[in-house]
Amino acid sequence: MRSPTKNLSPDRILLVHPLGYGKEAAARDISRMANMMPPLGLASMASFLEKNGKTCAVVDCFAQPDSDRVIREYLVSERPAFIGFSCTTSSFLDGVRLAGFAKGISANVRVVFGGAHVSALKERILQQFPVIDYVVAGEGEQTLLELMESEGRADEQVKGLVYRDAERETHFTGYRSKGMDLDSLPFPAYHKLNGYPHAYKLPIFNYPRAPNSSCISSRGCPYACTYCDRSVFRRSFRFNSAEYVYAHLGYLRRRFGIRHINFYDDQFTFNRERVEAFTGMMIDRPPGMTFNCAVRAEHVDLELLRRMKAAGCWMISLGIETGDESLLAQHRQRADLELISHTLRLIKKAGIRTKGLFMMGLPGETETSIQKTRRFVFSNPIDDLNMSKFTPFPGAPLYEKIHDLGAFHEDWEKMDCMNFQFIPHGLTEQQLEALFRRFYRSYFMRPKVFMGYLTMLWRSPDSWRRFLGDLASYMKFITTDERLLHDAKST
């Protein structure tokens, strides 16, 4: 039975983070196993809208049991005029399903989509999916606020919006001329996330203590790698001040008891002055927290690393991508593996754990380049790694010419870096999958790596508790036999 659809509340919105894949599939993939990140974008959006007089609720389908029921109950009881979805490529179609579900309950609710996928495709989204009323392209806070304040009467005055006119033609109003002052934003509305913080977990062996969480202290990236989607923040780069970041961590410690934070910034140390000021506060007035971050090799040195260690830095990630320098040079600026090796050694010298971030299956990848990556990993002090499966997302420079570089099966639901949807020339999907499994197995079965994880018994006891709880799944993955590779070479 449908509820009445008139008299919806124009100042009320339900924000939804769709799931987009089966939990059982993610549980089988070692790169995603036991990793649950809060939807920081939606939590930030909720706090901004509420600061400006709106009423928001957030449903994270990753962490909220029976999320369809929760969405239904909110639409019926609170009668919001808007429902917003923040989607990746793989979760987009699940968002479309939920949008239809919402319209079936409250026919006049306005459906708004945001995030990287729709920001890249813009008008194409409205042309192909009539259940969606609006797309917010780019940074969304001010655009969504203005849309709600106009009660959905979209026009060219609301920048950053894709909408349909009375003749059902689609229009993009253009990007906003100026990005948000990030220090003007309230802290994300973590309290609106069901089960926060205990429902969310960083990857095992990536933190010393629990509860832990994630934080973003900047937006955008000044670089232009071929594989990175830049459709939301484009080439802009903005960051919170050191004072704001320190206050943010203090809030998380006092309000939620957080003991460790992972900064999901693309480049945490790009502005050295900010990092020096932030670490100074952490050293002088310790909040009782440690942190991880990601850096580029050219933006750290031993002096800064030692300062970060004293401030509580526990692990640093480097986006290495591949151990084949000629392949790397095709896809990013300053492809200098010698510099990356030097930086890894400096990080270890400062007493900080290292994590290497890699991709398998980039255009130009070969079995030889994968062997070079394996040798690079084994010859450098890398404590932990993540090897994702290259995926050409809409919004990345490679996307426009990807069909010329190999075979690409654009199945959005499988474009989650857990599946080989793109196959470079000269390889097959079966070969890539077998090489991927062999890579992980050879890494984790090394005595040096095992001894490193053994030290986590006292450095990260919560990780070992979680690992032992999922031991059967991990061992099934890393002990996969050679049949996959043998079969791949036989075809």
pLDDT of residue 486: 47
Residues 273 and 143 in one domain: no
In whole angstroms, how far apart are CA 60 and each of 195, 196, 214, 328? 10, 11, 15, 36
| CATH number of the domain enclosing 47 | 3.40.50.2300
In whole angstroms, how far apart are CA 230 and each of 21, 125, 218, 233? 23, 18, 14, 6
In whole angstroms, how far apart are CA 271 and each of 222, 238, 292? 11, 10, 17
Residues 223 and 371 in one domain: yes
Q: Note whether residue 180 is domain-resident.
A: no
In 379-460, where does DSSP find H-type helix?
429-444, 447-454, 456-459
Q: What is the pLDDT of residues 394-441, one digit of tens each?
A: 989 999 999 999 999 999 999 999 899 999 999 999 999 999 999 999
Q: Which of 153, 172, 191 is the last residue of a domain?
A: 172
Residues 30 and 101 in one domain: yes
Measured distance CA(90)–CA(68) in Å, rounded: 18
Residues 120 and 253 in one domain: no
Measured distance CA(361)–CA(437) in Å, rounded: 13
Q: Note whether residue 2 is domain-resident.
A: no
Q: What are phi and psi of 246, to 5 degrees?
A: -65, -40
Residues 98 and 216 in one domain: no
Q: Note whether residue 299 is domain-resident.
A: yes
pLDDT of residue 5: 39
Residues 383 and 269 in one domain: yes
Residues 387 and 243 in one domain: yes
Q: Which of 134, 156, 172 is the last residue of a domain?
A: 172
Looking only at the bridges linking them, the beta strands covering 218-220 and 212-215 are unpaired
- Whether residue 363 has a cis bond before it, omega within 30° of 0: no
Q: Note whether residue 69 is domain-resident.
A: yes
Q: Note whether residue 182 is domain-resident.
A: no
Residues 139 and 211 in one domain: no
CB 438 within 8 A of CB 367: no
Residues 427 and 479 in one domain: yes
pLDDT of residue 73: 97
Residues 238 and 375 in one domain: yes
Q: Note whether residue 126 is domain-resident.
A: yes
DSSP string, 321-365: E-S-HHHHHTTSSS--HHHHHHHHHHHHHTT-EEEEEEEE--TT-
Cα–Cα nearest to 138, from 233, 37, 23: 233
Per-residue burial over 282-313, b if 16 or more Cβ lie within 10 Å, else e, is: beeeebebbbbbbbbbeebeeebbbbbbebbb
The number of distinct structural domains making up the chain is 2
pLDDT tens digits, the chain, 491 residues: what are they? Answer: 233 335 899 999 999 999 876 555 544 544 445 678 999 999 999 999 999 999 999 999 988 878 999 999 999 999 999 999 999 999 999 999 999 999 999 999 999 999 999 999 999 999 999 999 999 998 999 999 999 999 888 778 899 999 999 899 999 999 988 888 999 999 999 999 999 999 999 999 999 999 999 999 999 888 878 888 877 766 678 999 999 999 999 999 999 999 999 999 999 999 999 999 999 999 999 999 999 999 999 999 999 999 999 999 999 999 999 999 999 999 987 889 999 999 999 999 999 999 999 999 999 999 999 999 999 999 999 999 999 999 999 989 999 999 999 999 999 999 999 899 999 999 999 999 999 999 999 998 888 888 888 898 889 999 888 888 776 665 665 555 444 444 444 44
**Pair of tokens at residue 197:** 């913080």
Residues 297 and 342 in one domain: yes
Cα–Cα nearest to 301, from 263, 253, 339: 339
**Pair of tokens at residue 426:** 């000269």
Q: Which of 120, 152, 172 is the last residue of a domain?
A: 172
**Pair of tokens at residue 333:** 């600026």
| CATH number of the domain enclosing 419 | 3.80.30.20
Other beta carbons within 10 Å of 487: 12
Q: Write out 436-450 in H/E/C secondary structure.
A: HHHHHHHHHCCHHHH
Q: What is the pTM of this model?
A: 0.91
CB 263 within 8 A of CB 215: yes
Chain centroid, CA 446 distance in Å:
29
Other beta carbons within 10 Å of 424: 21
Domain around 424: 202-490
Q: Note whether residue 345 is domain-resident.
A: yes
Residues 210 and 168 in one domain: no
pLDDT of residue 479: 56
CB 206 within 8 A of CB 355: yes
Q: Note whether residue 189 is domain-resident.
A: no
Cα–Cα nearest to 297, from 223, 214, 236, 205: 223
